[in-house]
Copies of this chain bind each other. A is one copy, B any other.
Amino acid sequence: MTDFAATKSKFHLPEGIIYLDGNSLGPLPKAASARVTEMVEDEWGEMLITGWNKAGWMALPLALGDRIGRLIGAEPGSVVVGDTLSIKVYQAVASALELVPQRRVILSDNGNFPSDLYMAEGLLCSLGPEHELRVVDPEDVAAQITEDVAVLMLTEVDYRTGRRHDMKALTELAHANGVITVWDLAHSAGAIEVDLAGCKADFAVGCTYKYLNGGPGAPAFIYVAPRLSDKVRPALSGWLGHASPFAFDLDYRPGAGIERMRVGTPPIIQMSALSVAMDIWDMADMAQVRAKSIELTELFITQVEATCPGLTLASPRDPALRGSQVSFRFDEGYAAMQALIARGVIGDFRAPDVMRFGFTPLYIDETDVGRAVDILADIIGNRLWDRPEYKIRQRVT
């Protein structure tokens, strides 16, 4: 059994804060600071260049990839860590398109995270005007999987509402139509059960600074199905994806399997923090995390609806259809979120009116949910959001 009290004890959570924004940036694992210090002082400081081999830096992208892979149902050796999520989206989509060379359409939806759409748009612009990025409503995706589509590029869980796509069904439908799939797991990895191998997903990408708690700007990951990974051409063909990077050949030869999706020199300090976050994940069973997440979100929805008039559920009511976050619409959502943050409950806001709350069983429990709802009910019931200082909008992430 996953011991959630034990996992919670592994995180530093600031005094008096209930942190419901782990879907934006996970909190600090207590052991991360010491590990980063050790990496900086004992490895970088003492080993210098020899750290690449002696401290195992060069092996981190694949080692971390396997640890993440366990959480998302990936085969061993099919995930590698590096770069940012946007870069990994580009890499996946560029490779995917070439597997269906006679087609020119990328299908996505308007619930996708904008950067995924931007990266695809940028790629297609490079490839030429005969290509098309077709963006439809989420509920129309299935009907739009037609035989002119090359790649289906979706984020499994909507970053605003938590609405979840059916990965297995859509992947099957895609394959039945000769379409390659690219799944963005930004709000899935560490949030819900994902079974990439079981769904026969082709490509997947994700980030490690949200539910995985890797730290600000922690690197991304990419999955390529083993049946494809020796076939795909990496468009971003960097030296660390080369079959023999230290031969310094003038011509590119892709490395074996997922190795070819590596690009440049990996960010070792970030990875040392991420490795500590993965130590905590090693204590967790994803099915139990998901079960606990559903308990917490159900509790939150029930209590908010009972105590906060004016807030309308924006997330699917059926927990099977949503990720590990709950969003409510409220006309004064921006001000209400500022008031809530001022009271120590950190969620976030997405325009025009969405109050967003992430539920992360590794460090959020029922008591936290109850306290958060009490404060929210006080703010709503007593119109405590109605102060000028809460209405000044600043750029938020």
Contact = CB atoms under 8 A, between A and B. Distances in A.
Interface of A: 12, 14, 17, 19, 21, 24-25, 27-28, 32-33, 36-37, 40-41, 43-46, 48-53, 57-58, 83-87, 90, 94, 110, 113-115, 117-119, 121-123, 125-128, 135, 207, 209, 215-220, 233-240, 242, 246-252, 263-271, 273, 346, 348, 350-351, 394-397
A234 B122 contact: yes
Contacts of A218: 267
B346 A94 contact: no
B219 A267 contact: yes
A246 B396 contact: yes
Nearest to A27: B48
Contacts of A266: 217
Contacts of A117: 250-252
B40 A114 contact: no
Contacts of A265: 84-85, 207, 209, 216-217
B270 A267 contact: yes
16 contacts: A28-B44, A33-B45, A49-B346, A49-B348, A52-B397, A58-B397, A110-B250, A113-B239, A114-B239, A114-B249, A114-B250, A119-B236, A209-B265, A217-B265, A217-B269, A270-B270
Q: Which of A36, A40, A350 lies at the interface centre, i.e. has the most chain B CB atoms within 10 A of its CB?
A: A40
A207 B266 CA distance: 12
Contacts of A53: 394-397
A118 B217 contact: no
A52 B216 contact: yes
Contacts of A86: 236, 238-239, 263-264
A202 B94 CA distance: 27
A126 B240 CA distance: 19
B115 A264 contact: yes
B33 A48 contact: no
A217 B265 CA distance: 5
Contacts of A350: 248
Contact of A264 (B51, B220, B234, B236): B220
A239 B14 contact: no
A395 to B, nearest CB: 5
Contacts of A270: 217, 267, 269-270
B14 A48 contact: yes
B83 A83 contact: yes
B114 A45 contact: no
Q: Which of A14, A219, A239 lies at the interface centre, i.e. has the most chain B CB atoms within 10 A of its CB?
A: A239
A346 B122 CA distance: 43
Contact of A127 (B48, B127, B271): B127
Contact of A216 (B25, B44, B247, B248): B44
A271 B269 CA distance: 10
Given A250-B135, A397-B49, A115 B239 contact: yes
Given A24-B49, A263-B87, A268 B216 contact: yes
Given A237-B122, A269-B270, A264 B21 contact: no
Nearest to A238: B86
Nearest to A396: B246
The 4 closest A-B pairs by CB, nearest first: A84-B264, A122-B237, A115-B239, A86-B238
